[in-house]
């Protein structure tokens, strides 16, 4: 029997009998199985259906999945009691006169922590030491775990935090602002991660905002550690925990980065450790006190924006990368990387049916607009299409350009994977750029920018922003797991929309980019065996990218490169009626081969839905961290 307890079913649209509801749920579950492939079990189909129908309010989500009841607290405390060595945590605060009205609320959240091995280290101006001692001690129930270091009036926040750091004795430090609050299980999760991963150096969590009435809103469910995104914005944020010895090794908080001193510290600490030693807790452990209007405006002082830009630039210089960092949008920064000399050769592979109304504009824009100085174009065309007069004429004109080669192939029916693999075998470039023939170049230095990213240490592939002709987004990276396999990120959003917490405007690491336009190292493509030719049309790019990442390579999506894409114009949709059976087989193949990976995209938070991108998941998917 399928049961439901959601009040949504009591709305007028669902005022039907219990038997009708049960029949409806069973029918819809079977439809999901049929449409999304036999690899999806009935339980998963029902879970997807439930996720589609439950109201997606954050308040409901908090009540269901982010509220500790009496029993949950008892279990948590029993677990802590079983721990042997308990990691100690120092909470650092810098407090000025303007912070006094909010101080009690902030320190009260430290006093109620379930993990007992903490201390609160506060740096304050001398004039408020007495008032601050009374407020903080009262809020923390007179705890003896509070240390106070008075400094000088008007000192910078970085100076104050360094004084608080000198008081700290904990294994890890956590930063708390006077307008912030810790979830009562926040330090428990930090300690739990440290116990499970003793070599961890940095830990960060999801966060939200809380208004004056205590109502939580605007949750930021973050990706796991994302190197490219960290150069676009401070995606570490709050709650952030740092191994104290690593902070001291990095030199503490640097003066001169006021407004972005935390961002600067994270970048320096990340350089001194490895991504494997940076852990993300996909739970809301920090609340920023603000009001709804401030949250919607998201204003950052200009001096903080400039300090953040300089922090990113200093980080890159320390890595030997002399790039240009500029403010790119209202939400972050953009890095323009230098290219090596001589320029790496790029082979642009264009599978095509030779239709003049598609290939003609694509070639015109590609050859006339591209400013890159060292590339070739390989037109991969079926031999049968070369006999059609109007197509043959276009291909002959194209071949007259020294940069273009026309390579025939006998494939019928068309196999995208095999055609590109043959093209790659004959390509002379250090970099392959896979490009559909229904694209048009918008950014003239597109190849420079893609090549510069692909040649970064550790990066294997890169992809651009693709727009539909109506100026809506077609591709801004790929999210795994949506619809059973994957979907394009921010699809159909209007040009200029920043997306979920800036994701459509900020360069970032992703699990996959589309082969509609993908730059990839040629040697890596060949080492991986190229595309899997079992996947003739759909998901071959997803499979390639998953193998690429499994081999240890990063993939970058960048909004700094823009193309227009007339998707499916050449061959039609992958799941059109005539190809539906093949599409279903490809879905099933991908689920068998990559199912666990598809459902656990490290760059898409487990608290977000696999049914509708960036809606809340009811319930969240299982956590990868212990517990």
| Rounded Cα–Cα distance for residues 403 and 347 (Å) | 10
- The tokens describing 349, both together, are 């592979």
Helices and strands (H and E) in the chain: how many: 20, 23
In a domain, 454, yes or no: yes
Looking at the structure, tell me whether residues 379 and 522 fall in a common domain: yes
Mean pLDDT calculated for residue range 93-114: 88
User: Do 556 and 228 form a contact (C-beta atoms < 8 A)?
Assistant: yes
Q: Kindly report the CA angle at 194 between 124 and 259, in degrees rounded to 5?
A: 35
In a domain, 314, yes or no: no
Looking at the structure, tell me whether residues 294 and 413 fall in a common domain: no
> Which range (167-181, 478-492, 612-626) has the least confidence?
612-626
> Minimal CA–CA distance to 455: which of 522, 363, 373?
522
Residue 32 belongs to what domain range? 7-55
Which pLDDT band, with edges at 50, 70 and 90, does 559 fall under?
Answer: very high
> Minimal CA–CA distance to 565: which of 362, 349, 404?
362
In a domain, 476, yes or no: yes
Mean pLDDT calculated for residue range 464-470: 96
Is pLDDT above 90 for 136?
Answer: no
In a domain, 312, yes or no: no
CATH number of the CATH domain containing 234: 3.90.550.10
Q: Is 453 helix (H, G, I), strand (E, B) or coil?
A: helix
In a domain, 609, yes or no: no
3-state secondary structure 153-212: CCCCHHHHHHHHHHHCCCCEEEECCCCEEECCCHHHHHHHHHHHCCCCCEEEEEEEEECC
pLDDT tens digits, 336-377: 999 988 999 999 999 998 899 999 999 999 999 999 999 999
- The tokens describing 311, both together, are 């922090």
In a domain, 318, yes or no: no
pLDDT tens digits, 11-41: 333 333 334 444 444 544 554 455 555 545 5
Give, as one character, the DSSP assignment of residue 610.
Answer: S
Phi, psi of 165 (to 5 degrees): -65, -35
What residues have CB less than 8 Å from 299, skipping those under 6 apart? none
Is pLDDT above 50 for 7?
Answer: no
| Rounded Cα–Cα distance for residues 302 and 241 (Å) | 27
pLDDT value of position 82:
94
Phi, psi of 78 (to 5 degrees): -65, -40
**Residue with structure tokens 């996959």?**
512
Q: Is 246 helix (H, G, I), strand (E, B) or coil?
A: helix
pLDDT value of position 26:
53
pLDDT value of position 476:
97
Looking at the structure, tell me whether residues 27 and 132 fall in a common domain: no
Beta bridge partners of 555: 461
Give, as one character, the DSSP assignment of residue 254.
Answer: P
Looking at the structure, tell me whether residues 91 and 51 fall in a common domain: no
Looking at the structure, tell me whether residues 42 and 91 fall in a common domain: no
> Minimal CA–CA distance to 20: which of 34, 30, 9?
9
Phi, psi of 305 (to 5 degrees): -60, -45
Looking at the structure, tell me whether residues 29 and 152 fall in a common domain: no
User: Do 142 and 108 form a contact (C-beta atoms < 8 A)?
Assistant: no
- The tokens describing 383, both together, are 């031999």
pLDDT value of position 485:
95
For the chain, the domain total comes to: 3
Looking at the structure, tell me whether residues 91 and 40 fall in a common domain: no
Q: What is the mean pLDDT of the chain?
A: 87
Looking at the structure, tell me whether residues 536 and 405 fall in a common domain: yes
In a domain, 378, yes or no: yes
What region does 483 belong to: left with phi over 0, alpha with psi -120 to 50, or beta?
left
What region does 226 belong to: left with phi over 0, alpha with psi -120 to 50, or beta?
beta
Looking at the structure, tell me whether residues 29 and 178 fall in a common domain: no
Looking at the structure, tell me whether residues 48 and 105 fall in a common domain: no
Looking at the structure, tell me whether residues 49 and 125 fall in a common domain: no
Looking at the structure, tell me whether residues 25 and 123 fall in a common domain: no
pLDDT value of position 409:
85
Is pLDDT above 90 for 291?
Answer: no
In a domain, 63, yes or no: no
C-alpha 442: how far from chain center? 25
| Rounded Cα–Cα distance for residues 150 and 95 (Å) | 10
| Rounded Cα–Cα distance for residues 317 and 540 (Å) | 37
């Amino acid at each position: 029997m399928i049961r439901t307890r959601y009040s949504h079913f009591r709305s007028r649209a669902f005022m039907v009998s219990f038997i009708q509801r049960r029949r409806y749920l069973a029918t819809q579950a079977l439809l999901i199985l049929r449409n999304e492939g036999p690899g999806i079990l009935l339980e998963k189909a029902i879970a997807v259906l439930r996720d589609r129908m439950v109201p997606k309010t954050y308040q409901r989500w908090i009540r269901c999945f982010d509220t500790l009841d009496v029993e949950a607290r008892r279990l948590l405390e029993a677990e802590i009691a079983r721990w042997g060595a308990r990691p100690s945590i120092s909470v650092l605060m810098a407090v000025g006169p303007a912070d006094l009205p909010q101080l009690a609320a902030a320190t009260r959240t430290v006093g109620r922590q379930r993990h007992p091995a903490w201390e609160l280290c506060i740096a304050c101006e001398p004039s408020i030491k007495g008032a601050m001692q009374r407020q903080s001690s009262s809020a923390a129930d007179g705890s003896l775990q509070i240390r106070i270091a008075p400094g000088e009036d008007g000192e910078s926040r970085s100076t104050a935090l360094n004084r608080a750091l000198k008081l700290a004795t904990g294994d890890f430090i956590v930063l708390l602002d006077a307008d912030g609050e810790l979830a009562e299980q926040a330090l428990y999760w930090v300690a739990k991660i440290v116990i499970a991963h003793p070599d961890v150096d940095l830990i960060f969590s999801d966060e939200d905002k809380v208004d004056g009435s205590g109502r939580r809103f605007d949750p930021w469910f973050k990706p796991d550690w994302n190197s490219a995104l960290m150069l676009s914005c401070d995606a570490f944020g709050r709650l952030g925990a740092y191994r104290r010895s690593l902070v001291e090794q990095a030199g503490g908080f640097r003066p001169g980065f006021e407004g972005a001193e935390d961002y600067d510290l994270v970048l320096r600490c990340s350089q001194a450790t490895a991504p494997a030693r940076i852990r993300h807790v996909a739970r809301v452990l920090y609340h920023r006190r603000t009001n709804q209007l401030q949250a919607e405006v998201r204003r950052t002082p200009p001096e903080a924006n400039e300090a953040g830009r300089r922090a990113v630039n200093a980080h890159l210089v320390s890595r030997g990368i002399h790039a240009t960092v500029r403010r790119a949008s209202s939400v972050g920064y953009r890095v323009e990387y230098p290219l090596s000399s001589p320029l790496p050769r790029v082979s642009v592979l264009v599978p095509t049916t030779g239709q003049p109304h598609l290939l003609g504009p694509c070639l015109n824009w590609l050859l006339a607009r591209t400013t890159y100085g060292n590339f070739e174009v390989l037109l991969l065309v079926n031999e049968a299409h070369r006999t059609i007069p109007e197509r043959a004429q276009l291909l002959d004109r194209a071949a007259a350009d020294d940069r273009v080669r026309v390579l025939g192939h006998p494939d019928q029916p068309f196999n995208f994977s095999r055609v590109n693999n043959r093209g790659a075998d004959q390509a002379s470039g250090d970099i392959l750029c896979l490009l559909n023939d229904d694209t048009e170049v918008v950014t003239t230095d597109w190849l420079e920018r893609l090549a510069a990213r692909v040649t970064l240490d550790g990066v294997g592939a890169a992809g651009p922003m693709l727009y539909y002709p109506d100026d809506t987004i077609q591709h801004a990276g790929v999210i795994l797991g949506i619809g059973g396999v994957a979907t394009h990120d921010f699809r159909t959003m209007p040009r200029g929309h920043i997306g979920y917490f800036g994701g459509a405007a900020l360069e970032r690491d992703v699990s996959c980019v589309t082969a509609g336009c993908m730059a990839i190292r040629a040697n890596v493509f060949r080492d991986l065996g190229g595309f899997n030719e079992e996947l003739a049309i759909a998901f071959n790019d997803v499979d390639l990218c998953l193998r690429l990442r499994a081999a240890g390579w990063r993939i970058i999506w960048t909004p700094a490169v823009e193309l227009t894409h007339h998707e499916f114009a050449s061959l039609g949709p992958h799941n059109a009626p005539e190809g539906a059976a093949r599409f279903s087989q490809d879905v099933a193949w991908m689920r068998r081969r990559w199912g666990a990976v598809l459902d656990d995209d490290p760059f898409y938070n487990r608290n977000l839905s696999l049914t509708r991108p960036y809606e809340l998941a009811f319930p969240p998917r299982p956590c990868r961290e212990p517990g």
